[in-house]
Amino acid sequence: MIVWLYPAAWASLLAVAGPMIVHLLRRQRAPRMVLPTVRFILLRDQSAVRVRMPSDPGLLLLRAAIIACAALALARPLFLSDARSAAWAQRTARAVIVDRSDSARGFVSDEAVTAATLSGDPVIEIETVDVASSLKRASTWLSQSPPARREIVVLSDFQHGSLTGADVRTVPKGIGLRLIPFAPGTGAARDVPSIRMLATDGVLNVRAHFDAERTVVSYQPAAGPFEGLDIVAPPPIVDRLNRVVSRVGAFAPSPTQPVVLRFQQPGLATTPSSPVRDWTFAAGQRLLRTPAIAGVPVKVAGVARALVIDADVDAQSLEAAELVKAALDARPDPEALAEFETARIPATVLAGWSREPESPEPEAWQQSDESDGRWLWAAALMLLGVESVVRRSAGAVGEREAARAA
């Protein structure tokens, strides 16, 4: 069966009319001969009308065939044979996702990446710190690749939560998935850097240690002043808000990441002092996505490297306390904290998510980068050579007839 990858090019067949028009308009010029009896022929204003046949019909057919072959070649014909389908089924288009997050760094070797990309045709290597989002990118690339068996290979340490069943289900049916874990094993010892937290007793330094048998968390009072949080409200209200947030628990403020909250400011416009996206931009985005303050009217901006929040709520309300806690918790990057997770996705779960790639679907030819139009181009070139020979021969014959008539 023959299919056409670019059928819109059939419109170029209209160019065949060009040689026909030229041959119809071309006049046959006969030699002029003066006869004595011509003076007895009466002149008439009207001339005989007759249908004029195209000149040189053989040459016309050759030129029309050249244009037709070129037009059909532009439409990119493709012959779908059993051999071609078998060749597509033996080829594998592969997207290799390499986890470059802090937890996987040092475990995914370059040799493993080379081995995964070696037999792909075509192949793309995607380095990422977010495996789940890269699955969508890999699926999009594979859906646009030439006909072949399609497969995604993921090289990662597969921390708990880095990939879920919902993420795997986003990979379209027919695309294979191979998950290759690289990690020191579940329960490897890790130490989490100190985290400053608010508590009823003040600010605490929280440290965590993970190993194969247990998790040890230590709390120590933190020294130093309470800085980094500026609530624009009367002092009694500020003290009350601090006590409520400390009892609930939140990340402690930091003088390097100051937070300013101003309540009952419906018309206050905060203008960023600089378009540079520092930590305040990401923190502001996380704050606005916090479900606890979904109904709180707030304006967020970064001013002089401080996160400034204007809220049209009462400073003594519960919404104000929720906003203070959300603002403090929005400063740390949760993805950075997630890198300290020591639990891994079980191998049985990874095996259940893995699947073999399927053979190309019958409609896969629409993504093909092949074409059998080269044979039509060859025919056009051959006919062009024949046309050149015929044209020179016809010109030579015309010159001999003109010489004979003269």
Give the model confidence (pLDDT) of 139-175 as tens digits: 999 988 888 899 999 999 888 888 999 999 999 988 9
387 and 357 within one domain: no
Q: Look at residue 138 in the predicted model and tell me its pLDDT.
A: 94
Q: Look at residue 348 in the predicted model and tell me its pLDDT.
A: 93
For the CA atoms of 353, 357, 363, 365, the dihedral, rounded to the nearest 10 degrees, stands at 140
Q: Look at residue 227 in the predicted model and tell me its pLDDT.
A: 87
350 and 382 within one domain: no
Cα gap 122→146, rounded to integer Å: 8
The region of weakest confidence among 14-23, 40-49, 81-90, 181-190 is 40-49
**229-233: which pairs have CB atoms within 8 A and are 24 or more residues apart?**
229/253, 229/258, 229/259, 229/261, 229/324, 229/328, 230/258, 230/259, 230/260, 230/261, 231/261, 231/263, 231/315, 231/324, 232/260, 232/261, 232/262, 232/263, 233/263, 233/315
Q: And the tokens for 3?
A: 């299919």
Residue 313 lies in a domain: yes
Residue 283 lies in a domain: yes
- pLDDT bin (cut points 50, 70, 90) of residue 241 is very high
327 and 392 within one domain: no
- pLDDT bin (cut points 50, 70, 90) of residue 406 is low
- pLDDT bin (cut points 50, 70, 90) of residue 274 is very low
Reported as a single tens digit per residue, the pLDDT across 58-93 is 788 888 888 888 888 888 887 777 777 787 788 889
Residue 104 lies in a domain: yes
92 and 72 within one domain: no
Q: Look at residue 82 in the predicted model and tell me its pLDDT.
A: 75
132 and 67 within one domain: no
- Position 276 pLDDT exceeds 60: no
181 and 143 within one domain: yes
329 and 401 within one domain: no
Q: Look at residue 148 in the predicted model and tell me its pLDDT.
A: 87
Q: What is the distance, to the nearest Å, from the Cα of residue 111 to the centroid of all Cα atoms in its chain?
A: 27
Residue 254 lies in a domain: yes
**Which of 197, 308, 183 lies closest to 251 in space, CA to CA?**
197
Instruction: Tell me the average pLDDT across 292-314.
Output: 88
Q: What is the CA radius of gyration of the chain?
A: 39
Looking at every residue in the chain, the average pLDDT score rounds to 81
User: HSE of 149 in the Cβ direction (CA atoms, 13 Å)?
Assistant: 17
Question: Can you name the residues that pair with 181 across neighbouring β-strands?
Answer: 156
Q: Is the dihedral of CA 37, 38, 39, 43 positive or negative?
A: positive
Q: Which residue would you say has higher pLDDT here, 56 or 322? A: 322
Specify whether the CB–CB gap between 164 and 132 falls below 8 A: yes
Instruction: For residue 392, give every residue at least 6 positions away whose Cβ sits within 8 Å of its Cβ, in sequence order, or none.
Output: none
Residue 42 lies in a domain: no
Q: Which residue would you say has higher pLDDT here, 254 or 366? A: 254
Reported as a single tens digit per residue, the pLDDT across 195-234 is 889 988 788 888 888 766 777 888 888 876 678 999 998 9
Query: 334 preceded by cis ω (within 30°)?
Result: no
**How many domains is the chain built from?**
3
The one-letter amino acid code at 54 reads: P
Residue 134 lies in a domain: yes
90 and 146 within one domain: yes
Residue 309 lies in a domain: yes
Question: Whole-model pTM?
Answer: 0.59
125 and 66 within one domain: no
Q: Look at residue 162 in the predicted model and tell me its pLDDT.
A: 86
Q: Look at residue 269 in the predicted model and tell me its pLDDT.
A: 47
147 and 122 within one domain: yes
State the angle between helix axes of 17-25 and 57-74 in degrees (0 to 180), rounded to the nearest 10.
160
**Which of 322, 197, 304 lies closest to 263 in space, CA to CA?**
322
Q: And the tokens for 42?
A: 């009466």
Instruction: Tell me the average pLDDT across 119-138.
Output: 91
Specify whether the CB–CB gap between 379 and 69 falls below 8 A: yes
Q: Look at residue 222 in the predicted model and tell me its pLDDT.
A: 85
The boundaries of the domain holding residue 309 are 228-334
232 and 286 within one domain: yes
Residue 222 lies in a domain: no
The region of weakest confidence among 88-102, 293-307, 359-373 is 359-373
182 and 89 within one domain: yes
